[in-house]
Structure 1
Amino acid sequence: MKKSISLMAGTVFCSFLSFSQAENMTAAEMRYRDSITKLNQNNAAVAASQEAYNKGIELFNKKNFKEAIGSFNKSISSDPNFTAAYYNKGVAENEAEMYMDALKTFTTLIEKQKGYSKAYFQRGRAYQGLSDYLKSEKDYEESIRLDANNPKAYYNYGTLKFLQQDYNAAIKYFTKSIELDPSSPMAYNDRGSCYRMQENYPKAIEDYEAALRKNPNLAFVLNNVGTTKKKMKDYSGALIAFNRAISVDVNFFLAYNNRGVALLEKGSLDDAIKDFEKAMQINPKYAPAASNLAGIYFKRKDFKKAEELASKAIAIDPNYASAYVNRGMAREMLRKMDDACDDWKKASDLGSTEGKTCYSGNCN
């Protein structure tokens, strides 16, 4: 006989939801939970990396390169695969002249991202900064192989060849850079300097003027025009160029010094003295201005003052050969022949033909 089941009035059905504890999760559930946790952690790391990266870019744009490097390091620490952080960190290290650090950064980046032409280009810059020209050449060549349309790679390769005094090769690379980017004045200026070193002064002036058409307010280009025109014995043209350079940058000590040389060669000694003194006032560590002043005082037969100023130039730069020549000449007139011969010998050892001539003619 079946027993009947009766429901009594007032009976309460259980309506509470039950949530499983972790130890009761299935394997699939646990994997899902772990993946969500990891995703959240990754998202937080990426966000932190991006924040530090953005701060690094901001600092870089303000030319606070060392602080920018610190921010890029934080970005990389949060996301070790963020290649843009590596790249900009390396660029900042190059700008800060921390070439060994930049070399390591770009080598790491190249390992992470094969075929990255700009990384090879920037590593080439680092090698160039370390004066490792052979490895720099290889990296520039690889950068060009990977991206034949990057004008900066050709430009930097040109600067490397210029430093090696291979002016024909430098001209070739500067010309290619100009073909790819005709708007940039730098390649015109530097190709002009190649022509100047080859004593092809009209071609040099042509390129300097082309650079100035791109940007008429480049004081260093105007200075180059002045030095080239001085070599052409066009002193009026040189003075005009130096005056323009100084009007663009009133603290451009090189232009004051070079204008002083042009005035000296014209025989305007008083004005030359003012320019050399102005150059030293702006940059007290600029040895050529002190040495040039020594030369003027020698011309004025103030040999003691000439010796003093040449000694000052040597104290600033112990490897500045012209200062030893000038001091030797002053000491000769002060009847200090042993000291004069020591100075000329030092100048000769530093590669000065004037020092060699003075020493061989007076001290043997």
Structure 2
Amino acid sequence: MIGFAGCAKTPHSWLTALVNYCNEDKKHIPEFFLSKYFVDGSETVLIYSRPFINSNSDAKLTININSRVFTSKIGFDDASKAFFDKLGYKLVDDQKFFEPPPFTNDYIAKFQHVSEEIDMKVMDISDNDRFYRIHSPSFGPFDPTYEIRSPSPSSGSCATSGLNDEILEWAYTKAIEESPEKIPEYLQAIYEVSKERIQTQEGADDCYIYKYISFLSSNKSSEIELNDICMMKKYKKELLDINKLLKVDSDNAFALCKRGAIYRSMNRHDGALLNLNKSLNINPYNELALSNRGVIYRIMNRNDEALLDLTLLDLNKSLDINPSNPLALSNRGAIYRIQNKFKEAFSDLNKSLKIEPNNVFALSNRGATYYMIKNYKNALVDLDKSLKIKSNYPFALNIRGIVHQKINNFEKALSDFNELLKLNPNNVFALNNCGVIYRSMHEYQQSLSDINKALKIEPNNAYTLSNRGSTYRMMKKYENAFSDLNKSLKIDPNNAIALSNRGITYKMINQYEEALSDLNLSLTIEPNDTFTLSHRIEIYLMINRHDEAYLDLNNLLKIKPYNIFALNNRGEIHRLKCKYKEALLDLNKSLQLKLCNSFSLNSRGATYRVINRYEDALLDLNESLKINPNNLFALSNRGATYLTMNKYEEALLDLDKSLKIEPNNAFSLINRGATYRMMYRYKDALADLDRLIKLKQNNALALSKRGEIYRLMDKYDDALSDLNESLKIEPNSAFVLSNRGAIYRMLNRYEEALIDLNKSIDIEPKNAFSFRNRGVIYRMMNNYIQSISDLDDSLDIEPNDTFTLKQKGISYYMLGVYRHAISDINSSLDIKPSNAITLSYRGE
């Protein structure tokens, strides 16, 4: 072996490390290699190699180089390859190795009993520090070839022998997989226990103890940490005394209950249940046994609602006997939390903490309950206190990390999840959460790094795949996102999170129908998922399906009454539907929640403009432009407000700026065209309207405004062409009808004019322009009484219109009512003293 060298491209194998040690090169050698036990090459190689060797009398011996234990504990390099080649072994890529017989329920009780005895033996070994003396001449290293099947006849009672080699090899391999430094401890314990037992007919069954040992060690990273030797030391004396008592009196209910309670504290839940069940069969009213069994049921059956109800039976019985049992109170509180019975949870947890103020379990569960009702401040108080008492308590670290994540304390959240990962580097939940946090911080590469680690541990975890898909989506790597999300949904077709994320990805590439399909399905599974609901609302708004958006917004506000996004958008839909009172209710509420909310300010400003509250509109729009001076919506609406207030220069400044930001903005073009019209800059007005109509030929509003400009320019044919086209699109537009009626009047087509003007007034009874034009037509048709009536109605709406006053004065003059005629003419001249036509009617 001395001459072999490790391959430069791969990590050194175990054999290379041993060679280096023998060559007195001790760099980078694990500490446990330094024991004489591991330096004894022949025994060590045998121990390490035997679990990987498949012997067959008709074939060459083979070694599975893809075995996880082989690659991690021996390693494949030049040294190991050459060594096994010299021995005549064949190296194969066989993924199947040492699959033990099925682990059936028939053997569970035996496993419990035997594994307890082995644990006690390990405790003895650890306590006597025999781990460090295992190479002593008085006790050589354990040899797997030793006849375990024929133990000393001086052994004690109970039954184990007839060990099956396949089972032994499999169990041994699994036992050392996580902690190779404990090999001597495991081997010595099994060796000594086997020596103390005699062979019986049931011995072959009991060989399953090794599989059970492996099962216990494989749960090392779970919440239920098994075989903790330090914990066993703590309870060693009590267990020894209880075991002696139970050998004398096997039906001692108190001793059975006490041993069950100790096993529960050691997280040996199966063994605890055996003892507690037996104790309760003897004494069904044992309060301690009931509360401890209830605790175990809660831990083992946390996701089964029916079994949780059974758990409550035990805890309720215990509390009926002793209402002040803190263990039962805290655990019942935890169950109520899981069942979302928060009032009951707080009641029990508060009582428990009055009795035991520093109970970490009760504090962390109360903190978790506060979290679930979104009382994050109190949640942190309890969780902080819990972690001051026990700094590495996983449950508290996990919940506190989630709370910090919820309130965007990302650095603190990462700190907690990293602490969890120190306790268990393979914690998929913590890795996923770190990935989510880094994504929220826009650190996408770090997000991918953590999520990829999680996927190495659980490659087919649907949630983790969906999580990585979300990160790819944020990175705009949509193909990668779809790949992960599709794979996630193949594993779990009803994964609401994956469906939601795929729907959002479709939204990002403007495939709205596909997006809605996924989001709809996600919401049938999780109807109250506000994140998914918000994205569906956004899509409905983008494709102008306002009625469906409105329904979703109502649902969202039932779930979250103070959701600013929902209040803003529902207020905007109310505004678009001319429900201005309802719009203001939502927008006012939104601004109470967040003062500097530009969306709410813009929408409320636009609402105030439409209901003629111009000063209020300017206040909101000015405030919005302080937040963002280039806000297109605010600029265009402030320009429109100035236009309505006849502040044309100010209007042009805002509208010009808005059109520099978005040159084809229809609202700004329409309003700048209207501003030019009011300033008699008809050519400029036509330029804006022509541009807008080129962008959208069927724009009824633009056609109507251009028709009005043509009317003012006396281009009646062009005007009628535009107005007729506009009425094909919107046949009930009072504005267009009144303008066409005015043109017909100018063309002396009075009957056609009256048809349009009558219809216009029916649609919009407060249309001063229509009353004015109809009044003039009646005068031209010598119907002076009706003329004066219409002109009065027009003046009620616009009392200072000089044209209307003049026309009414003329009608009175034609009736011979000269006093009224002079009065109206004078009123017109008071407003416009230099109007030559009016002066001529007065005789000047």
TM-score norm. by structure 1 comes to 0.71
What is the CA-CA distance between 1:202 and the residue it aligns to? 0.4
What is the CA-CA distance between 1:118 and the residue it aligns to? 2.8
Matched, 1:151 2:598: yes
| Structure 1 match to 2:55 | none
Q: Is the 8 A contact 1:174 1:187 kept in 2?
A: yes
| Structure 2 match to 1:12 | none
Give the number of the structure with larger relative contact order, counting CA–CA contacts within 8 Å between residues 6 or more apart. Answer: 1
2: CA distance between counterparts of 1:259 and 1:153? 33
Q: Is the 8 A contact 1:327 1:343 kept in 2?
A: yes
Q: Is the 8 A contact 2:530 2:556 kept in 1?
A: no
What is the CA-CA distance between 1:232 and the residue it aligns to? 1.3
Moved more, 218-227 or 279-288: 279-288
What is the CA-CA distance between 1:36 and the residue it aligns to? 8.3
Alignment of 1:340-359 (within 5 A): 351=797
Matched, 1:273 2:720: yes
2: CA distance between counterparts of 1:126 and 1:269? 38
2: CA distance between counterparts of 1:229 and 1:195? 13
| Structure 1 match to 2:681 | 234
| Structure 1 match to 2:690 | 243
Quick one: structure 1 residues 307 and 62, their matched pair in 2 at CA, closer, same or farther if it must change by over 3 Å?
Answer: farther
AA paired with 1:220?
A: F
Quick one: structure 1 residues 241 and 318, their matched pair in 2 at CA, closer, same or farther if it must change by over 3 Å?
Answer: closer
Alignment of 1:19-168 (within 5 A): 19-20=104-105, 32=300, 35=303, 47-48=495-496, 50-51=498-499, 54-55=502-503, 58=506, 68=516, 72=519, 74-91=521-538, 96-98=545-547, 101-102=551-552, 104-111=554-561, 116-125=563-572, 128=575, 130-131=579-580, 132-145=582-595, 148=596, 150-168=597-615
AA paired with 1:20?
A: N
Quick one: structure 1 residues 269 and 159, their matched pair in 2 at CA, closer, same or farther if it must change by over 3 Å?
Answer: same
2: CA distance between counterparts of 1:164 and 1:287? 18
What is the CA-CA distance between 1:122 and the residue it aligns to? 3.2
Quick one: structure 1 residues 301 and 218, their matched pair in 2 at CA, closer, same or farther if it must change by over 3 Å?
Answer: same
Q: Is the 8 A contact 2:553 2:566 kept in 1?
A: no
Q: Which has the higher helix share?
A: 1
> 1:197-252: per-residue Cα shift (whole Å, max 9, x none)?
22110010011000110011123322211111111122232222222322333222
AA paired with 1:104?
A: N
> 1:298-344: per-residue Cα shift (whole Å, max 9, x none)?
112121221233345457x3647344554454455446678768867
> 1:32-63: per-residue Cα shift (whole Å, max 9, x none)?
5773899x999958614642674488579567
AA paired with 2:619?
A: K
Q: Is the 8 A contact 1:49 1:74 kept in 2?
A: no
2: CA distance between counterparts of 1:158 and 1:277? 34
AA paired with 1:239?
A: L
1: CA distance between counterparts of 2:527 and 2:635? 40
611, 622, 625: which one pairs with 1:178? Answer: 625
Alignment of 1:250-329 (within 5 A): 250-313=697-760, 317=763, 319=765, 321=767, 322-323=769-770, 325-327=772-774, 329=776
2: CA distance between counterparts of 1:123 and 1:186? 17
AA paired with 2:727?
A: M
Q: Is the 8 A contact 1:185 1:211 kept in 2?
A: yes
The answer for unaligned runs of 5 or more in structure 2 is 1-99, 110-269, 274-292, 307-460, 464-490, 821-844
Secondary structure at 1:251 match in 2: coil
Quick one: structure 1 residues 62 and 173, their matched pair in 2 at CA, closer, same or farther if it must change by over 3 Å?
Answer: farther
| Structure 1 match to 2:484 | none
2: CA distance between counterparts of 1:163 and 1:281? 26
| Structure 1 match to 2:671 | 224
Matched, 1:169 2:616: yes
Quick one: structure 1 residues 200 and 325, their matched pair in 2 at CA, closer, same or farther if it must change by over 3 Å?
Answer: closer
What is the CA-CA distance between 1:84 and the residue it aligns to? 0.7
AA paired with 1:230?
A: R
Matched, 1:196 2:646: no
1: CA distance between counterparts of 2:536 and 2:592? 21
Q: Is the 8 A contact 1:219 1:246 kept in 2?
A: no
Quick one: structure 1 residues 44 and 29, their matched pair in 2 at CA, closer, same or farther if it must change by over 3 Å?
Answer: farther
Q: Is the 8 A contact 2:567 2:586 kept in 1?
A: no
> 1:91-133: per-residue Cα shift (whole Å, max 9, x none)?
567654438635532322325xx6x543443354356554325
Q: Is the 8 A contact 2:776 2:787 kept in 1?
A: yes
Q: Is the 8 A contact 1:106 1:123 kept in 2?
A: no
Identity of aligned residues (%): 20
Q: How many residues align?
A: 338
2: CA distance between counterparts of 1:320 and 1:50? 55
Q: Is the 8 A contact 1:87 1:109 kept in 2?
A: no
Moved more, 328-337 or 286-295: 328-337
What is the CA-CA distance between 1:266 and the residue it aligns to? 2.3
Matched, 1:211 2:661: no
Quick one: structure 1 residues 166 and 48, their matched pair in 2 at CA, closer, same or farther if it must change by over 3 Å?
Answer: same
> 1:162-214: per-residue Cα shift (whole Å, max 9, x none)?
23433233223223333433444221111111211221100100110001100
2: CA distance between counterparts of 1:103 and 1:229? 40
Secondary structure at 1:206 match in 2: helix
Quick one: structure 1 residues 244 and 90, their matched pair in 2 at CA, closer, same or farther if it must change by over 3 Å?
Answer: closer
Q: Is the 8 A contact 1:177 1:187 kept in 2?
A: yes
1: CA distance between counterparts of 2:611 and 2:735? 24
RMSD: 4.6
Q: Is the 8 A contact 1:110 1:120 kept in 2?
A: no
2: CA distance between counterparts of 1:325 and 1:337? 13
**Which structure has the larger Rg over C-alpha atoms?**
2
What is the CA-CA distance between 1:137 and the residue it aligns to? 4.0
Q: Is the 8 A contact 1:52 1:75 kept in 2?
A: yes
2: CA distance between counterparts of 1:197 and 1:221? 14
1: CA distance between counterparts of 2:743 and 2:524? 59
Moved more, 119-128 or 279-288: 119-128
Q: Is the 8 A contact 1:49 1:78 kept in 2?
A: no
Quick one: structure 1 residues 183 and 37, their matched pair in 2 at CA, closer, same or farther if it must change by over 3 Å?
Answer: farther
